[in-house]
Amino acid sequence: MSTLSVHEAKTHFSKLINRALAGEEIIVAKGKKPVVRIVPMEGAKTSRIPGRSKGLVKWISKDFDKPLSEFEDFMK
């Protein structure tokens, strides 16, 4: 989350929109008081960035792809 002044937001508005579309929350402050939050609209398309989630998975179970017991009948 980034906090910027109104002047900074006005100067870099296009870049801030791209950062918001990439998932960042931008706060615009008037003086020291936050007044506006820039976030993407629900359903707004974002471009895919390969590797964005790298490092989020800490471990994978050895049997992660084992069929679940309730679906074993369908697998036969």
What is the reported pLDDT for 75?
62
Average confidence (pLDDT) per 10 residues, the chain, 76 residues: 90 92 91 92 76 86 84 68
Encoded amino acid at 38, one letter: I
pLDDT value, residue 26: 93
